[in-house]
Amino acid sequence: MLIPCPHCGPRTHEEFTYLGDATPRRPDPADPAVETAFFEYAYIRVNPAGPHRELWFHAAGCHAWLVVERDTRTHTITGAAPAGRTESSS
């Protein structure tokens, strides 16, 4: 697979480290149901067959964590954008 890194251009996915689903948000530790929230955050996944937003780290390139949109049935990649903030200059 070639991942279109927004910083480096298309690169083979071997340059990246995969983490998984990008949708779970780290819970607020002040959340009253913090244990359940963290349990879900750490362990529960929707795991869809279809479009998937997922985290990849461009380990051999620009060291950016990216959110890549990819279809898990076809591996077609429709986009990649920096995760979290866009750039330190922003």
Residues in contact with Zn ion by CB under 5 A are: 5, 7-8, 58, 61-62
83 touches another protein by CB under 8 A: yes
Task: Give the total residue count for the chain.
Answer: 90
33 touches another protein by CB under 8 A: no
Minimum distance from CB of 69 to another protein (Å)?
Answer: 12
Distance CA 87, CA 63 (A): 12
Specify whether the CB–CB gap between 1 and 75 falls below 8 A: yes
> Counting beta carbons within 10 angstroms of the beta carbon of residue 28, is it exposed (0 to 12), middle (13 to 18) or buried (19 or more)?
exposed
81 touches another protein by CB under 8 A: no
65 touches another protein by CB under 8 A: yes
H/E run at residue 37: helix 34-43
Binding residues for another protein, rule: CB under 8 A, are 1-2, 7-15, 17-21, 26-27, 29, 34-36, 38-39, 41-49, 52, 54-55, 57-65, 70, 72-75, 82-90
